[in-house]
Amino acid sequence: MIEKAGMTDARKSLYFHLGLIGALFILQFILPAYHHGNLARIMVLACYAMGYNILFGYTGLLSLGHAMFFAAGMYGMGLPMVHLGWTPEPALISAIAAGVVVSAGIGFLALRTSGVSFMIVTLMFAQAGFLTILYFGEWTRGDEGFVIKQAERVMAGFDLSQPVNRYNAALILFSICLLLTIRLVHSRFGRVMIAIRENEERTHMLGYDVHFHKWMAVIMSGTMAALAGAAYALLFGYAGATFASVQYSIFPLLWVLLGGAGTALGPFVGTLFMFYLIDLSSSFTTAYMLIAGLALVLLTLFLPQGLVGEFRRKVVPWLS
């Protein structure tokens, strides 16, 4: 009976998220051009946050170095297209491979530590990656970055520089990342990740290989972040060192905290909230980050589980 109820809850959660995907599809026919472009950008960045949520929200590992994974995908996509003349299809494979290699290597080394030490080590690796991008400025163009020409951003016959194609590509990517996250949460592997977050020692005592599961969580998290970075470069035609800076390692943490860590939808809601909060406040003051910081403090105090987390706790406990 309990198993049957659990299956019902999982199905409800799936239908809820499929409804959101349907709503996002319909919105493209309603939104004005400005918000249409914003939402496409938000969906790509939400995929980055979803990758971060796998590591932080579900496994309980606090990283301050995720910008290196995002940048690995961005430059894995952009550099071959600009310097080697690759088309987007092989460049995308290159970007994913870069994400897997970088996350596997960094995870292997960083997981020798734990807690605050893990956070500091990931931050140091991210800074090393940022400085590497600046050092090879002849190829990466450093802070200035480089533009991927509109004519080169054609994939499977679709010009991804066109607003409609760009929006639908972002929606497809968002849908894949969201559904994969839900599938992961309800899988045996996902349950072990959550068990590690709740009580690592007890999980180890039950016979699970905690180190392996944590390493795989880093790889999955980093690869999804790299995929988002590749999509950002392709859909918006730009890659720059800013995306490898500490700022872009902190952003996904804020988005996940605002939306709700350990919820599939939290990263999207947090990204949407923070994006428009900064966008609206910057229109009337230069101290827009102060307003964003104040909002974060208030939400942390009064909605400690985030927007989606509190909604799940009070209204829909079956939500993934």
Tokens describing residue 77: 């996509």
37 assigned to some structural domain: yes
The single-letter code of the amino acid at 128 is A
pLDDT for res 320: 80
pLDDT for res 5: 46
Looking only at Cα atoms, what is the longest distance across the chain?
63
CA atoms lying within 13 Å on the CB side of residue 283: 5
* Per-residue pLDDT tens digits for 132-178: 999 998 999 988 999 999 989 999 899 999 999 999 999 999 999 99
Say how many domains are in the chain.
1
**Cα torsion angle, 100, 174, 32, 25, sign:** positive
CB atoms within 10 A of CB 304: 12
Find the CATH number of the domain harbouring 217. 1.10.3470
48 assigned to some structural domain: yes
Contacts of 197 (CB under 8 A, 6+ apart): 58, 59, 60, 262
250 assigned to some structural domain: yes
195 assigned to some structural domain: yes
Contact 70, 277 (CB under 8 A): no
Among 72-81, 99-108, 178-187, 302-311, which stretch is predicted with the lowest mean pLDDT? Answer: 302-311
* Per-residue pLDDT tens digits for 60-96: 999 999 999 999 999 999 999 999 999 999 999 999 9
- Cα-based angle 87, 134, 78 (whole degrees, multiple of 5): 10
Structural domain boundaries, residue 125: 2-314
Q: What does the DSSP assignment read for 63-89?
A: -S-THHHHHHHHHHHHHHHHHS---HH
251 assigned to some structural domain: yes
Backbone angles phi, psi at 301, to 5 degrees: -75, -45
In this model, does residue 190 exceed pLDDT 60? yes
Overall pTM > 0.85: yes
- Cα-based angle 131, 153, 48 (whole degrees, multiple of 5): 50
319 assigned to some structural domain: no
110 assigned to some structural domain: yes
DSSP H/E element including 158: strand 158-159
Backbone angles phi, psi at 136, to 5 degrees: -95, 45
Contact 62, 120 (CB under 8 A): no
92 assigned to some structural domain: yes
CA-to-CA distance for 219 and 141, rounded, in angstroms? 28
